[in-house]
Amino acid sequence: MESIQEQEPARSREQRYEALARVVAEPLHRYLRRRANADQVDDILAESMLVLWRRLEDVPGLDVGRVPAADAVLPWCYGVARGCLSNARRADRRRLRLVERLTRAVAVPAVQPQYGNHEQLHAALDALGEADREVVLLWAWEELAPRAIAEVTGLSPNAVSIRLHRAKKKLAALLERKTSLPAGHETADGRSTQ
C-alpha cells in the first residue's frame, strides 16, 4: 500500500498534467485535424497526450501549482503532436506496403483533405515543399512566431524566418497569377493597376 508521501507526488503530477491538458488539448486537436485524416485525429491526439504524460517533466514552462501559459507550452507540445503524426503516417505507409504485397494491387492513393472553397490556396500550398508548407501552416493556422515554429520543427529561428519569407513570397506569386488583372485595368475603386 502506498504511503501518504508517495501519493502526494503522484497527485501533484496528475494536477500538472490536467492543467497542461486543459491548455493544449484543443489547439493540438485543431493542429491534427488540419493535417491528418479525420478518422485518425482522435487516435493521434490520444497518443500525443500519452507522450505528454510520459514526458511531463520535459515540458518547458510547466510549473507546479500554476496554470501553464499557452505560449510557453504549446510549441513543445506541437512538436510532440508532429512526431506522433509522423509515426502514424509511417505506420500507414507500412500497412499500405503490406496490403500491396499481399494483394498485388495498384497502390492506394493517399486521401486528400477536403479543400472547400479554397482550392487555389491549397493548390498553391501544395506547390511548396513539405518543410516550407509546414512552416507556413504553423504560422498561419496555429499563429506561431518563428521562434515557436523553430521549436516545433527543430529548425533554427533564423532558418524558419528565411523559409517563411520565401514561402510567403512564392505563395503570393502563385496566387497573384491566378487573381491579378492585367496591367492597365482599373480596380473597383477606380485606380489603375499600372
| pLDDT(5) > 50 | no
CATH number of the domain to which 145 belongs: 1.10.10.10
Residue 64 belongs to domain spanning: 1-112
State whether 95 and 155 are in the same domain. Answer: no
Q: List pLDDT tens digits, range 24-45.
A: 999 999 999 999 999 999 999 9
How does pLDDT run across 79-89, given as a tens digit for each residue? 999 999 999 99
Q: Are residues 108 and 161 in the same domain?
A: no
C-alpha cell of 153? 520543427
Q: How many CA atoms lie within 13 A of 12 on its CB side?
A: 12
In a domain, 123, yes or no: yes
pLDDT the model gives residue 3: 52
Tens digit of each residue's pLDDT (9 = 90 or more) over 53-106 = 999 999 998 876 788 999 999 999 999 999 999 999 999 999 888 777 776 644
CATH code where residue 50 lies: 1.10.1740
C-alpha distances in angstroms, 106 versus 95, 111, 112? Answer: 14, 15, 18
Exposed, middle or buried, 56 (CB in 10 Å: 0-12/13-18/19+)?
middle
Which of 79, 112, 145 represents a domain boundary (last residue)?
Answer: 112
Total of domains in the chain: 2
Contact 89, 134 (CB under 8 A): no
